Amino acid sequence: MVISMLDSRGREINYMRVSVTDKCNLRCRYCMPDGVEIVPMSDLLTFEEITAVCRQASLLGIDRIKITGGEPLVRKGVVDLVAMIRALPGIRQITMTSNGVLLADYLPGLLEAGLNGINISLDSLDRDSYKSITGRDQLDRVLAGLEAALASGIRVKINSVLMKGTNDQEWSDLVDLARTRPLDIRFIEMMPIGSGKEYQGVSNEDLLGLMRCRFPDLREDHRVHGNGPAVYYQVPGWQGSIGLISPVHGKFCSGCNRIRMSAMGDLKPCLCYEAVANVRDLLRSQGEEAVGQILKQVIFDKPEAHCFSRLEDITEDKQMIAIGG
């Protein structure tokens, strides 16, 4: 077993989010309202290249990979990539974040490839509201994907972003999913990245207050649910749990365990700041050991904390779709 590398602040870095595309079949208003500039295929890392980077990361102790995007299921052959990464000896968990539109179609292949968990992004259970947020009338397909995933027994988490005046009144319908289903419904505070800056999110402190009023016996759920910073709660008797991910009102940087890689090979140790290195050309010119050296440096130099409270310090100007969330 490889011991995970510590960064210069002593944090153990064991998790990498890997974006495989910056294309998407939805147009979520806080993520990519006007679409993004589509890059040529040759600028994207191939599956072999992504796997090589994951192998180098695993040699540094990164043993969990999240496949994200854009929408990962729109990248042709992504099921093969899941299998390739899952087969790396150092990788003990591979999960995916998806909008769920194509999930029912790809689920059997993903399960066979060894996917360990699926996060489905879902901001509304109301057809009109869903369409207004995502720009597409696809709620039924997402719900079909969700039910198929639950029936398969794979670990399912739902990610919701609440916006004041848009879907903030829908939190209790979303929470209700955990009453009869064994899933985690997680509320992610809106982050001031890209178009997210234009929306007023809901503070998870306020949401917790509302939940405590509605469910007086709500209690903290201390079981380990995943690799991230969510704080979990449960209502006794419910099958699922409720998670709060609070990057804005509850800074969790002291326990941050992750780095990110974009579909073009940009390495990003913190959401707030622009990428610090690119591995694509290095990989193509010098081979994967050189990438291992860069990864080591990027992990070591990971910034102490994000700067969402000082908007002028944010150097990342890309939309979330190009970063991978």
Cβ distance 173 to 133 under 8 Å?
no
**Residue 228 contacts ligand SAM per CB under 6 A:** no
**Residue 148 contacts ligand SF4 per CB under 6 A:** no
Q: Please, what is the minimum distance in Å from the beta carbon of residue 222 to ligand SF4?
A: 30
Q: Which residues have CB under 8 Å from 179's CB, separation 6+? A: 235, 238, 239, 240
Task: Work out what residue 188 binds among ligand SAM, ligand SF4, none; the CB cut-off runs from 5 to 8 Å by kind.
Answer: ligand SAM
**How many other C-beta atoms lie within 10 A of the C-beta of residue 83?**
18
Binder to ligand SF4 among 18, 20, 31, 54 (CB under 6 A)? 31
Q: Specify the stretch interacting with ligand SAM by CB under 6 A; choose among 65-73, 135-143, 144-152, 231-239.
A: 65-73
Task: Work out what residue 117 binds among ligand SF4, ligand SAM, none; the CB cut-off runs from 5 to 8 Å by kind.
Answer: none
Amino acid, res. 15: Y
**How many other C-beta atoms lie within 10 A of the C-beta of residue 45?**
22
Q: Please, what is the minimum distance in Å from the beta carbon of residue 119 to ligand SAM?
A: 6
How far apart are the C-alpha atoms of 250 and 246, rounded to whole Å? Answer: 5
How far apart are the C-alpha atoms of 25 and 35, rounded to whole Å? Answer: 10
Q: What angle do CA 170, 172, 177 make, to 5 degrees?
A: 105
Nearer to ligand SAM, 7 or 316 (CB): 316
**Residue 321 contacts ligand SAM per CB under 6 A:** yes
How far apart are the C-alpha atoms of 156 and 178, rounded to whole Å? Answer: 11
**Residue 82 contacts ligand SAM per CB under 6 A:** no
Binder to ligand SF4 among 18, 32, 74, 103 (CB under 6 A)? 32
**Residue 115 contacts ligand SAM per CB under 6 A:** no
Q: Please, what is the minimum distance in Å from the beta carbon of residue 182 to ligand SAM?
A: 20
Task: Work out what residue 32 binds among ligand SAM, ligand SF4, none; the CB cut-off runs from 5 to 8 Å by kind.
Answer: ligand SF4
User: Residue 213 class from Cβ within 10 Å (0-12 exposed, 13-18 middle, 19+ buried)?
Assistant: exposed
Binder to ligand SF4 among 174, 321, 322, 323 (CB under 6 A)? 321
Q: Please, what is the minimum distance in Å from the beta carbon of residue 75 to ligand SF4?
A: 12
| CB half-sphere exposure, 113, CA atoms < 13 A | 21
Binder to ligand SAM among 162, 190, 211, 279 (CB under 6 A)? 190
User: Residue 305 class from Cβ within 10 Å (0-12 exposed, 13-18 middle, 19+ buried)?
Assistant: middle
CA quadruple 175, 71, 135, 311: dihedral sign: positive
Binder to ligand SAM among 93, 124, 159, 262 (CB under 6 A)? 159
Q: Provide the binding-site residues for ligand SF4, judged by CB under 6 A.
A: 24, 26-28, 31-32, 69-71, 99, 121, 320-321
